[in-house]
Amino acid sequence: MVKSTGQRSKKFKIVITKDGPYVVSGGVPLSERFTCVDNDDQCHGWKEGQKFPIQENYALCRCGRSSTKPFCDGTHAKIHFNGTETTSRSPYLNQAEEITGPDLKLTDAQGFCASARFCHRADGTWTLVENSDDPESRKTAIEEACDCPSGRLVVWDNGGKAIEPEFEPSIGLVKDTQAGKMGPLWVRGGFRSSRLMVTHTRSEIE
Ligand code: FES
């Protein structure tokens, strides 16, 4: 889904190069984003980590083998990285199933999932939406969908408006503290990529 922040995002761009890195231009802010874990050992919320100095242009590793991650160091060429895109280009809503509750609707495009697990808390986003006439369930369903970095889950109010957080255009390097893993890249703020992103985003994809 898209959450545009207007004119400022238009100068930002990501080009997904053939068998190579993501080339980012326009001075897009880049920072680490750590998943938080609550007392019940459930993923709940985000914490910002290191902020990288703003660079007008930079290349982010896509092959996973750079020795200077998150940046590309050219290793992709030495290892003959095959960066063929495999993800559907179909718009989000064409891929999403709908779950309708009394006070919220949920759209769920499973193919977008980044396994970030924010949707597991309480009884899970799907059950929470089905029970959304309960204020606490409604609130938790919204929090979980808004925490999801992949854009898989979107909650909608009864007026048909998507409930999504406002983001400044930026890229987050996701660090899953519970699973001890890095990734995906979280592209936020509604700017465009010139090719389909391998990792899904809350930004629009051309
Ligand atoms: S894409 Fe260049 S080193 Fe990974």
The answer to whether residue 95 scores a pLDDT higher than 70 is: yes
| β-bridge mates for residue 99, sequence order | 106
- Rounded CA separation 162/132 (Å): 15
Q: Which pLDDT band holds residue 7 (cuts at 50, 70, 90)?
A: low
Nearest CA to ligand 1 atom 2: 72
CB-ligand 1 contact for 21 (6 Å cutoff): yes
- Cα-to-centroid distance, 200 and ligand 1 (Å): 19
Share of the chain above pLDDT 70, in %: 87
With beta carbons less than 8 A apart as the criterion, state whether 66 and 78 touch: no
- Rounded CA separation 42/187 (Å): 23
- Cα-to-centroid distance, 143 and ligand 1 (Å): 34
Indicate which atom in ligand 1 lies nearest the CA of residue 20.
1
Q: What is the pLDDT of residue 159?
A: 95
Show the tokens assigned to 45: 């919320």
For 29-47, how does the pLDDT look when each residue is reduced to its tens digit (9 = 90+)? 999 999 999 999 999 999 9
Per DSSP, the three-state class of 176 is strand
- Rounded CA separation 54/28 (Å): 7
User: Residue 49: phi, psi to the nearest 5?
Assistant: -105, -140
- Cα-to-centroid distance, 29 and ligand 1 (Å): 20
Segment 74-83 shows an average pLDDT of 96
